[in-house]
Structure 1
Amino acid sequence: MRTVGFDNRLIFNFIPFMKSKGAICEYNDKKHQLDFLLANSVLVKIRLPLDMDYDKIKETPIHAEFRNYVLVMIRSGIASVGIFENFECHQHKVFRAYMTRKKQGKSQIKHLKTKGKSRAGSRVRLQETLEFFEEINQRLQEHFEEFRIDKIGISCSDTLIPYFYGGKIKTPFDKQDPRIFKIPKHIQNPTFEELTATNKFLLQSEIRISESGAPYYSEFLEKTAPSDEPQDDLNDDW
C-alpha cells in the first residue's frame, strides 16, 4: 500500500464519499484508524490524528477539545518520556544507560539469551538495564499522579517489553490498558527532538491506499482539490 499525508479537514468529506461508493467504514481502536472495505478487500486506511476521537454511534470523527497524553519511546540504552498537556509538551526527560556490548553492538538483554551474565561487564550492563527501566517507570508514576492521562503512546521493541512491565517499579498502567496505542512510526533514536517530531506526526493524519483503492482516492481528489492544483500521481510506487 502507498502511504501519503492527508489533510485532517478532508476526513469528514472522505467518509461519506467512500460510503457513497458502497464501502464499509470500520474503526480500529487500537490503531486509531479507519479501514474502508469493499467486498472484504481493504481499499484505503486512514490513521486519525491524535486530536480526533471517533464516535462509534454516529460513525464519525469528532475533534477532541482537550487531551493529556504521554509518549514513551524506548530503545536499548536510550529512552524518552514526554507528558503532553492539551497537545503541547509540558515536561520531558531523556534516559540513558550502558546496555550495549561495544564490540558486538548487541544489548545485554539479547546477550543473556545465549551466554548468560557471568562476567563483570555483563553484570554491570544488566544492573544498568534494570535501573534504566525503574527510572522510566518512576517518571511515569509521577506524571500519572499529577495529571489525568487520556492516551498512552508507546514505542518499544518486543525484547524490552518484559523489562518495561516487569521491574520493581511498575508502570502506572497494565498491558491491556485501553488508553495504550502503539506509535505507528519507527523510532531509531528517541531524543527530545524525535519526541517533538513524533508528536507532530501524531497530530497529522495519514492515508494508505491499496492498488484497488487508488481509483477511488484519485476521484476524491479530483472532486475536492481546486482545479488549478496538480493531483497526486498514483501510478507510481506500486
Structure 2
Amino acid sequence: MNQFISKEASLQLLRNIESSSFPFVYDYEKHRMLIMDEQGNDLIYFRLPIVLPPPSQAEDQVNYVILLVQSGNCAMGYFENGLNLDHKVFRSYMVRKKQGKSQIKHLKTKGKSRAGSRVRLGETVEFFENINERLQEYFEEHEINRIAMSCSKILIPYLFNSKVSTPFDKRDDRIFKIPKHVHTPIYEVMMDVHKFLLKGELVYEAVHQAIIDELVDEDMKLR
C-alpha cells in the first residue's frame, strides 16, 4: 500500500516513530525511515518530504535543486523550504526525427555520424553546458542541502563530463534520485514532481496495518 501525507503529518509521524518501541533506521540516500522487526527485516518505508531535514540534523530550512534531464529536454529549479525561487527550461535538437532516437544512442549503435548528426552532437554539448552553467549559479549563490535528480543513465556521462563542470560530483551524498517516473521535463512537470516531493509517503503491506494504526495519531490526516 502507498499513502501520501502532508508535511505537518509527516513531522508528527517522524516524532512518533522516534519515540516508539519499533526498531528503525534512517536511509539518507533515499531520505526515508525504515521501520523493522526485531530480526532487522524491513516492514514499513516512510519517505520524508524533501523540506524536512534528516532526523540527525537541525537545519532551520532546506535548500534544494530539482534537476530533470531527458534527451533534448531539461527542467530545473532552485527551492527554499518549498518555494521555487528560480527555474529554467532548456531544449535541444538531440533526437533523430525518423527513428525517434537520441543522437547519443545512435552513435552507440551506428558509430560515425554525418552532417546532421554533427549538428545534433553540437547542440548536445551546448545543452549540457547550459545546464551546468545554471547549476553553478545556484551553487555559488546558495547553500544547497539536497539535489533531487531524474536523469537517464545514458546521459549521466555527458552531464558530468561537460566542458562546463557540474558543481557537484556524481557520487555526491546530497543527490536524491527522484522515486517517480518523470514525463518530458517542462516547468509544469517539474512543479508536479515538486508536489510529490513535498509529501511524505508510506509504503507497506496490508498485513502491517496495525503498526501504522499504532504510529498514526487520530488527528493526523493520511492523504
What residue number does 1:224 align with? 218
One-letter identity of the residue aligned with 2:14: F
Verify the 8 A CA contact 2:17 2:215 in the aligned structure 1.
no
What residue number does 2:35 align with? 36
Verify the 8 A CA contact 2:13 2:215 in the aligned structure 1.
no
One-letter identity of the residue aligned with 1:50: I
What residue number does 1:26 align with? 25
Distance 1:197 1:182 in 2: 16
Is 1:111 the counterpart of 2:115? The answer is: no
Once the two structures are superposed, the pairs formed by residues 63-142 of structure 1 within 5 Å of their partners are 64-142=59-137
DSSP-derived class of the 2:153 partner: coil
Query: TM-score, length-normalised on structure 2?
Result: 0.88
Distance 1:68 1:54 in 2: 13
Distance 1:5 1:55 in 2: 19
Distance 2:176 2:18 in 1: 26
Point out where structure 2 has 5 or more consecutive residues left out of the alignment: none
DSSP-derived class of the 1:69 partner: strand
Verify the 8 A CA contact 2:64 2:144 in the aligned structure 1.
yes
Range 175-184 or range 211-220, more displaced: 211-220
DSSP-derived class of the 1:55 partner: coil
Aligned residues: 219
Give 1:13 shift.
5.3
What residue number does 1:155 align with? 150
DSSP-derived class of the 2:176 partner: strand
One-letter identity of the residue aligned with 2:193: T
Q: Which has the higher contact order (CA 8 A, sep 6+)?
A: 2
Give 1:87 shift.
2.4
One-letter identity of the residue aligned with 1:77: G
Give 1:118 shift.
2.3
Identity %: 45
DSSP-derived class of the 2:183 partner: coil
One-letter identity of the residue aligned with 2:46: I
Range 141-150 or range 106-115, more displaced: 141-150
Give 1:176 shift.
2.1
Verify the 8 A CA contact 1:6 1:204 in the aligned structure 2.
yes
Verify the 8 A CA contact 1:33 1:48 in the aligned structure 2.
yes
CA deviations over 1:61-115 (Å, ceiling 9, x no partner): 86x5322211111011100110113321111110000111112111111111110
Verify the 8 A CA contact 2:75 2:187 in the aligned structure 1.
yes
Point out where structure 1 has 5 or more consecutive residues left out of the alignment: 233-238
One-letter identity of the residue aligned with 2:24: C
Give 1:4 shift.
1.7
Verify the 8 A CA contact 1:42 1:210 in the aligned structure 2.
no
